[in-house]
Amino acid sequence: MRHFDHRDGELHAEDVPLSRIAAEVGTPVYVYSSATLERHYRVFADSFGGLDTLVAYSVKANSNIAVLQTLARLGAGADVVSGGELARALIAGIPGERIVFSGVGKTRDEMSAALEADIHVFNVESLPELRVLDDVAQSMGRRAPVAFRVNPDVSAGGHEKISTGKKENKFGIAWDRAESAYAEAACLPGIEVVGVDVHIGSQIDDLAPFEAAIRKVRGLIERLRTQGHDIRLFDIGGGLGIHYGDDNRMPPPPSDYGQLVRRLTADLGVQMVFEPGRMIAGNSGVLLTEVLYVKGGGDREFLIVDAAMNDLLRPALYDAWHAVEPVRLPEPDQASATYDIVGPICESGDTFAKDRMMPAVRAGDLVVFHSAGAYGAAQSSQYNTRPLVPEVMVRGGQYRLIRKRPSVEEMLERERLVDWSN
């Protein structure tokens, strides 16, 4: 359920009209519904009743500290992939014991910070990383809890750039080398082997790849135990998709996913760790933007909005589809039009949609890009010296600014002119 609906002819976020946010904060602006965030977390977490679980929200999906705080209050953990994300999670109130550190390129400083925070587990992705982690842990007089991320060579994900479980992807330990990696880890004094990790992709709309991966990892866990390893954690990653409103089939609900996981792992005697990101945050947010111009272009019309690819990169990066609609409901006799929806960036790739049919709009009208709560603001940049887009969170009839829009002066004050005369 999404808490964005029309009232009196205007789209609201919960009880707040989006036109009010546009008038008071400006556009473009991300708007998040706290009720949607909370509901999606609860629906996901409740799907695994009867299992020992840790739901470690994937911070990279939406890393705003207010979003993390909202989830922390519900008991969420965090899956982080950098020292910066670790700091965000801790500031937001997620304790180290509920934090999982993933990623292929952890630095010594990041490892040290994670050990100081007493995180739950490191998901290690290579033997060189393992050896560095062992060295860092020994230098601190600690043992690092470790799960190897293994690559099961299971293909999943809606786009080649978000498939992570195939043997040609950069992630994880090759399947045929996993057992030897665990044997080496068991000999390192700074390492404590605790589990197995797998992540096969993102925006997955079918349970079959999950079942294939779980069955393979279950067999690996059983073999590792016979080899003397105390495997008590199984991190299955994230990847369950959401519906963006396009023609792709509807992903399975969390309840079906939970039933699958319980059926395959209930007797395994492990803590199940999940890393949902998009599933929690995706449909909790919209990008609100204003129409600047409607431009005729020969055989097509361009709808030029004040949001751009630096604000929402997914269409340019992944050919991603987002539903677009006006904030004001069209009149019953209002005509429709077909647009290429584009932004002001000086790139042909700054295109949100092509040949998109929607109610006709004019300059000054407000429109929203739906399902923009994940990988929207988190991937935004200041390309073309455009200020980072602000973020707003709504609760009932109130809203709060949770990331301000910097001025150009604030953006430039971090840079320096140089004087080579001396």
346 is catalytic: yes
Contact 405, 387 (CB under 8 A): yes
CA distance 110 to 54: 22
Cα-Cα-Cα-Cα dihedral sign, residues 60, 266, 148, 215: negative
**Per residue in 194-231, pLDDT tens?**
999 999 988 898 999 999 999 999 999 999 999 999 99
pTM metric for this prediction = 0.94
Residue-level pLDDT at 163: 45
Percent of the chain whose pLDDT exceeds 70: 95
Span(s) in the chain for CATH 3.20.20.10: 103-274
What is the distance between the terminal CA atoms of the chain, rounded to a whole angstrom? 64
pLDDT score of 184 more than 80:
yes
**Architecture, CATH, for domain 4-31+283-412:** Beta Barrel (2.40)
Residue-level pLDDT at 202: 85
The residue type at 245: G
Q: Check if CATH label 3.20.20.10 holds for domain 103-274.
A: yes
Residue-level pLDDT at 171: 65
**Per residue in 125-172, pLDDT tens?**
999 999 999 999 999 999 999 999 999 888 655 545 444 444 545 568
Question: Measuring CA to CA, which residue among 160, 181, 178 is closest to residue 169?
Answer: 160
Residue-level pLDDT at 138: 98
Structure tokens at 355: 């040949």
The residue type at 91: I
Percent of the chain whose pLDDT exceeds 90: 88
Span(s) in the chain for CATH 2.40.37.10: 4-31+283-412
Mean pLDDT of 378-393: 97
Residue-level pLDDT at 166: 44
Residue 138 exposed, middle or buried by CB count within 10 Å (0-12, 13-18, 19+): middle
pLDDT score of 317 more than 60:
yes
CA distance 220 to 80: 25
Choosing from 1, 346, 417, 418, which is the catalytic residue? 346
Residue-level pLDDT at 298: 75
**Per residue in 61-120, pLDDT tens?**
999 999 999 999 999 999 999 999 999 999 999 999 999 999 999 999 999 999 999 999
CA distance 349 to 359: 24
Helix H or strand E encompassing 369: strand 366-369
The residue type at 189: P
Mean pLDDT of 357-371: 97
